[in-house]
Amino acid sequence: MKKLVSLFLALAMLFTMMSFAAADEPFEITVMVPEFTLDVDYVEEGNPILAKIEELTGVKLKMQFVSNEGYGDIVSTTLTENDPPMLMAVTDARAPSIIDSARAGAFWDLTDFIADAENYPNLAAGPAGVYNNISIDGRIYGIFRSRAFPRAGIYYRLDVAKQAGFDREVKTIDDLTELAEKLAAVSDDTYALNMCSYAAGTISVITVAMGAPNNWGIDENGDIYPAHKSPAYLEGLNWLRHLYEIGGIDPDFIEIPTSEWDNIERNGKAFMRFDCLDNAHRQQEWFENNVEGVTEQLFQSVGPVAKADGSISVWPQNNGFAGEILINKKAVSEEDLPKVVKFLDWCNGPEGQTILNAGLEGVTYWVNEDGYRYVPDDKADEASQNSKMYLHDFNQLGMGVPGNLENPPAVQNRGLTTLRERYANLNIELAPYAVTDPCFPFVSQTAVDRGAELSQIISDAAVQYIAGVISEDELKAAWDEWASKGGDQMTAEYNEAYHAAQ
């Protein structure tokens, strides 16, 4: 009898649970994004951020974090799955496999949703130019992940430069050369410029600053030509080669893995870097948190750098966005699609942006009397731990299509806001000088087929030239090799597409 009663009760409970679920069933959305926070595991059980998102949108998020190292490999293989995640971040929106899959209909076409300002106001508010950049055959398949533009630049150790006898602002290429030479002379064990196996960014920063185009340029006849054909490109390489010769660059920089890049500055082995400018304040904050007694400004980011003729050009690290979020057709049915797009729209609104980028008040941040986000000193550890466990890499789903709408807005807690503020200001100041790649919106078949191998020829030769392994003649021979193996054809194809679009 007892058994029967308990069985009955269990069944009753099951039914109530089922009916409850049916009445108010949250809509589950699966998401795959790159993972950068590798030291702490993501916690799904009892995650207050997930609960808040579900409360606000009725969406139950199922996050799948994949290490950023090799993320592209995982995207390739995910495309072959029968049960892919509904939303998928793609870091290279122009990868051949993405273009092919989009053309075959693997992703939902979002063009009409983006045009629907009434139902999806945040998505519709995105700049048409960037949407155009990620479009494929005139259709938009993904929501771009907006990034600060131009973002790339130069920063250096302010204190070391002062000690070395350089105590003014870097305003011209000559200033930069003088600074680099003085930093190179600091000691035999240290180097001026921090370079590693990823040299392409460094090379782009200096060659474009010298006046070279970004990947592809337009000559006086209005034709497309490759960046290395510009004399300024060689000037930039010569600048690095000279610095290498005088001991300003680690002779074995090419052996240094990218993961060591930050540590070289932290160990005080090199004092200048051409990279993302936001790294300047990240390094500053690292020193403040990890080195006793650091209170003054150690790093300085450089503003516009003028060439001899007074003109200024800046290499943008991106085209205003870093990859996109795609909706897999295999995972989302046509009737569910508006719900998923609606969720993406919410992610781009003030509420969504704040939660995805900053988390929750009282969990990962607090709000001060001026209405800014901050973390009280006694909560720093708790906030950092919560942020790693619960917020993890949610910001990778953040798109920020209509611009930054975070509310409350961010402010640094340690009072040293200068570099962060300077970064935001520099992006605005440098943006007009940014040199964009004119071929970005076009698709060249040769670039799809052999682009990776061809650009490797150019970048390998550049590195070897900087390190003095090959001569200028051999460098030019490598350029000829590039041209004969498909570079000329690629140029012709881009020219055709470019002229057709004019």
Partner 1 sequence: MTTKAAELRAARGSGREYWRRLWSNIKRDKWLYLLLLPGVIYFIVFKYLPMFGIVIAFENYVPFSGVLGSEWVGLKWFQSFFGYPDWINYLTNTLILSVMNLVFFFPAPIILALMLNEMRSLRYKKLLQTLLYVPHFISIVIVVSITFVMFGSSGIVYKLTAQMLGHPIKYMSSPDTFRWMIIGQTIWKETGWGTIIFLAALTNVDTQLYEAAMVDGAGRLRRLWHITLPAIRSTIVLMLILRMGSMLDTGYDHLILMANSMNRKVSQTLDVFVYQQGIQQGRFSYASAIGLMKSIVSVTLVLFSNKIAHMMGEQGLY
> Is residue 255 close enough to count as binding partner 1 by CB under 8 A?
yes
Q: Which helix (H) or strand (E) holds 234?
A: helix 231-245
Contact between 106 and 86 (Cβ < 8 Å): no
* 72 vs 441, beta carbon nearer partner 1: 72
3-state secondary structure (DSSP) of residue 316: coil
Find, among 92, 28, 66, the residue nearest to 392 by Cα. 66
Q: Which residues pair with 154 in a beta bridge?
A: 274
| Stretch of 43-51, 58-66, 73-81, 349-357 contacting partner 1, by CB under 8 A | 73-81
Sign of torsion over alpha carbons 153, 157, 160, 166: positive
Q: Lay out the site mask for partner 1 across 7-46 (x = CB under 8 A, - = otherwise).
A: ----------------------------------------
Nearest approach in angstroms of CB 183 to partner 1 is: 20
Residues 6+ apart with CB under 8 A from 188: 247
Each residue 429-468 as x (binds partner 1 by CB under 8 A) or -, in order, gives --------------------xx-xx--x--xx--xx--x-
Q: Which of 55, 73, 296, 429 binds partner 1 (CB under 8 A)?
A: 73
250 binds partner 1 (CB under 8 A): yes
Residue from 76, 119, 295, 385 in contact with partner 1 (CB under 8 A): 76
Q: Find tokens 């909560």 and name the residue.
A: 379
Q: Which is nearer to partner 1, 25 or 480 (CB)?
A: 480
CA distance 193 to 169: 18
Q: List the structure tokens of 280.
A: 């300047």
- Closest approach, Cβ 454 to partner 1, in A, equals 10
Residues with Cβ within 8 Å of residue 220, at least 6 apart in sequence: none
The CB density around residue 472, as the number of other CB atoms within 10 Å, is: 12
Among 329, 342, 392, 420, binds partner 1 (CB under 8 A): 329
HEC string of 46-91? CCHHHHHHHHHHCEEEEEEEEECCCHHHHHHHHCCCCCCCCEEEEC
Asked if 203 touches partner 1 (CB under 8 A), the answer is no
User: Is position 97 an interface residue for partner 1 (rule: CB under 8 A)?
Assistant: yes
> Omega before 441 cis (within 30°)?
no
Q: How far is the CB of 214 from partner 1 (least distance, A)?
A: 21
User: Which one of 5, 45, 77, 415 is in contact with partner 1 (CB under 8 A)?
Assistant: 77
Part in contact with partner 1 (CB under 8 A); list of ranges 51-59, 95-103, 171-179, 310-318: 95-103
Q: Which of 330, 339, 379, 476 binds partner 1 (CB under 8 A)?
A: 330
Contact residues for partner 1, defined by CB under 8 A: 72-73, 75-77, 79-81, 95-98, 100-101, 103-106, 197, 199, 250-252, 254-255, 329-330, 449-450, 452-453, 456, 459-460, 463-464, 467, 469, 484-486
